[in-house]
Amino acid sequence: MSTIFSAALRASGLRVAEVAELLDCTPATVYNYVNGRSAPPPDAVRRLAEITDAELAEVARRRERTREKMRKTLRRNQSGITTADRREWQKKATAARLAKRKD
């Protein structure tokens, strides 16, 4: 739920303090919702969607994309590729990019 809340907040362009005032809660509460430290109640999500004019379907799509990225990362981690392998690959890729820039 916090992903939906943070996506709607980002889409709105409002500051945390402004949203807190509109939702009648503290900025710390909104900050906790955004960062996943606590789950916003469904009513708060609904009110944020109304305040920001956010489309809940769009927010849900963003949430699903985030979940899909997490699933891909998990699959990659389960495929036997170690962290050391990934770091080595990243070093090689970075070196190749830097070599292209020099040319």
Q: Cα 27–31–34 angle (5° rounding)?
A: 140
Three-state helix/strand/coil letters over 52-92: HCCCHHHHHHHHHHHHHHHHHHHHHHHCCCCHHHHHHHHHH
Residue (of 35, 32, 26, 30) closest to 3 by Cα position: 35
d(CA 23, CA 69): 31
Query: Phi first, then psi: what are they for 55, rounded to 5°?
Result: -80, 120
Question: Domain extents for the chain?
Answer: 2-102
Per-residue pLDDT tens over the stretch 18-67: 888 888 899 999 888 888 888 888 788 778 777 776 655 566 666 677 77
Model pTM score:
0.48
CATH architecture of 2-102: Orthogonal Bundle (1.10)
